[in-house]
């Protein structure tokens, strides 16, 4: 354990979470095993090793699936409100352990401590949502065309839900999926990112204790660890009827084709190339706050991070100057220190992608307004700290069309009506989050209309980053079309069934068909 980690209480946080120096990465509840090679969990904060986690072999995976299948047979017949009670208890444990889990998220992933706490709060919020949902997993009743018949639809659990999550939200996205899947009667097998494996082990420890306390099968929640080959074990497995995958569009295409080939269901949450439109009627102060947090929060490593700001020519210089000035005030450093705004990128590969993006901006004719660069020296020993950069660009530049998972912000200019700005915003392959800054009602409604933003999320006078769990989260086009979290997103974790009951002594056929015997 590094000196910095001890200074900020990471050792105490790990102890509170019940984590030892070496942790097994394959688990069915309280049973821990794993015979694959170890992977090292290292912090981008200071480059120090945190722990070693064993990976999952094919033999280990078979044990996990057998445990999950057996658990599903019992879990699915437990009344949904009782399943909700288990999720409620899980939420209470998260409340109790919010601080240490938030610290682990911050240290292993590199986001600010406040963002780490916020991510755990999202887990708590989705548990609360799921508890209420457990009493309203409703279908519909329809009028039958045949006399003396009743017709309705209901939803049943799917079985095993596979979850593949990304490093940037190492715990919340799993909870978005698993809390809903559990109240729906499903069991879950989770493969966290190999870049943040210890967060997965910590969450599994927490739910395992809840399951044990309630004398429930440990296979309700299972953990597997490793690289993409471990993920392939789920995507190719017919025993896993649904796979929810969060990550890059490239990864999502592979998951979609593999799961689709066996006619399974996939929920995809992929890349974003999110924009804020700034009209002449925008509040500049609000614009700057939304844009800066959206661009540099989590060091630009959110799928909802603001990548582009599309500014009307009348406002362009004012907005540009205000945002550039705000960037001069950013503090970069240890994310556990709450005085800092920006932490590190996840690893050296992310740094290389950031550097390449800045080079491509210049090569493709862009103008750098706020210089980027990799920081070195005391406090930056991990080599993962970079300066948030701003560039003037055009939407048709190849680098602007690409999602760079780093704090690189592009300023784009538009002329004329808001329709022109919307066309620019929609002119990328991704369709996750979008926003408009305006006090003009007509512009706002135009942005939200059928002919407006083509993204799954469209906001007025708030930024692109961040979402409430009460609404369905997800996007269109290359973002994958999936929806998680609130609204009726729960339906994807269930299979729909239409039922017809004949309570007469005759058997009339549909559409008036006669078949006399």
Q: Cα separations (Å) of 317 from 171, 296, 364, 513?
A: 40, 21, 22, 72
Question: Has 218 been annotated as catalytic?
Answer: no
Minimal CA–CA distance to 466: which of 50, 158, 169, 133? Answer: 169
Task: Report the C-alpha gap between 26 and 22 in whole angstroms.
Answer: 13
Residue 152 has, within 13 A of its CA and on its CB side, a CA count of 9
Q: What is the CA radius of gyration of the chain?
A: 24
Assess contact for 211 and 220: CB atoms under 8 A.
Answer: yes
CB 186 within 8 A of CB 244: no
Residues in the chain: 517
3-class SS of residue 370: strand
Three-state DSSP at 308 gives strand
Pairing of strands 49-54, 141-143: unpaired
The active-site residue, picked from 188, 199, 203, 303, is: 303
Alpha-carbon distance 381 to 366, whole Å? 31
Could you tell me if 300 and 370 are in contact, meaning their C-beta atoms sit under 8 angstroms apart? no
Q: Write down the residue that tokens 């981008």 correspond to.
A: 44
Per the DSSP assignment, residues forming a β-bridge with 154 are 497
* Beta strand pairing call for 484-485 and 472-473: antiparallel
Catalytic residue among 269, 403, 443, 484: 269
- In which element (H, E) is residue 312 found? strand 306-312
Beta strand spans in 12-76 (E): 22-23, 26-28, 31-33, 38-42, 49-54
Tokens at residue 334, please? Answer: 């240890």
Question: Distance between terminal CA atoms of the chain?
Answer: 81
Q: How far, in Å, CA of 140 to CA of 155, rounded? A: 10
SS3 177: helix
Q: Is 203 noted as a catalytic residue in this protein?
A: no
Give kind and range of the element (H or E) at residue 84: helix 80-96
Catalytic residues: 269, 303
């Amino acid at each position: 354990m590094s000196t910095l980690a001890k200074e900020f209480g990471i050792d105490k946080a790990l102890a509170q979470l019940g984590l030892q120096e070496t942790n097994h990465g394959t688990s069915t509840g309280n049973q821990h095993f794993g015979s694959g090679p170890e992977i090292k969990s290292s912090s981008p904060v200071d480059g120090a090793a945190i722990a070693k986690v064993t990976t999952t072999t094919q033999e280990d995976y078979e044990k996990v699936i057998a445990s999950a299948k057996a658990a599903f047979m019992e879990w699915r017949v437990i009344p949904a409100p009782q399943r909700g009670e288990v999720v409620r208890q899980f939420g209470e444990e998260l409340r109790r352990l919010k601080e240490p889990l938030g610290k682990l998220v911050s240290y292993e992933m590199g986001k600010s401590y406040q963002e780490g706490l916020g991510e755990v709060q999202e887990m708590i919020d989705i548990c609360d949502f799921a508890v209420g949902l457990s009493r309203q997993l409703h279908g519909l009743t329809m009028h039958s065309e045949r006399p003396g018949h009743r017709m309705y639809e209901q939803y049943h659990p799917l079985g095993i839900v596979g979850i593949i999550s990304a490093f940037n939200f190492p715990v919340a996205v799993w909870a978005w999926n698993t809390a809903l899947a559990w109240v729906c009667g499903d069991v879950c097998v989770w493969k966290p990112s190999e870049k943040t494996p210890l967060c997965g082990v910590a969450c599994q420890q927490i739910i395992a204790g809840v399951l044990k306390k309630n004398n429930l099968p440990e296979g309700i929640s299972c953990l597997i660890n490793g690289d993409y080959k471990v993920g392939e074990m789920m995507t190719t497995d017919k025993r896993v009827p649904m796979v929810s995958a969060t990550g890059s569009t490239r990864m999502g295409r592979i998951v979609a084709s593999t799961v689709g080939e066996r006619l399974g269901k996939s929920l995809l949450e992929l890349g974003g190339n999110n924009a804020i439109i700034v009209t002449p009627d925008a509040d500049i102060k609000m614009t700057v706050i939304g844009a800066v947090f959206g661009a540099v929060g989590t060091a630009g490593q959110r799928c909802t991070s603001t990548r582009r700001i599309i500014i009307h020519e009348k406002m362009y210089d004012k907005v540009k100057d205000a945002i550039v000035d705000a960037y001069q005030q950013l503090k970069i450093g240890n994310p556990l220190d709450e005085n800092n705004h920006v932490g590190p990128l996840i690893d050296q590969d992310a740094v290389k992608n950031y550097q390449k993006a800045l080079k491509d901006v210049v090569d493709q004719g862009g103008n750098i307004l706020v210089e980027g660069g990799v920081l070195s020296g005391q406090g930056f020993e991990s080599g993962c700290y970079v300066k948030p950069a701003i560039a003037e660009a055009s939407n048709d530049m190849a680098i602007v069309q690409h999602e760079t998972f780093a704090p690189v912000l592009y300023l784009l200019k538009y002329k004329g009506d808001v329709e022109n700005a919307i066309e620019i915003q929609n002119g990328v392959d991704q369709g996750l989050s979008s926003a408009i800054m305006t006090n003009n009602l007509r512009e706002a409604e135009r942005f939200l209309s059928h002919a407006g933003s083509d993204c799954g999320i469209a906001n007025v006078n708030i930024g692109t980053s961040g979402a409430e769990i009460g609404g369905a989260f997800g996007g269109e086009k290359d973002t994958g079309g999936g929806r998680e979290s609130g609204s009726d997103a729960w339906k994807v974790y269930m299979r729909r069934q239409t039922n017809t009951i004949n309570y007469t002594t005759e058997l009339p056929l549909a559409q008036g068909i006669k078949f006399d015997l």
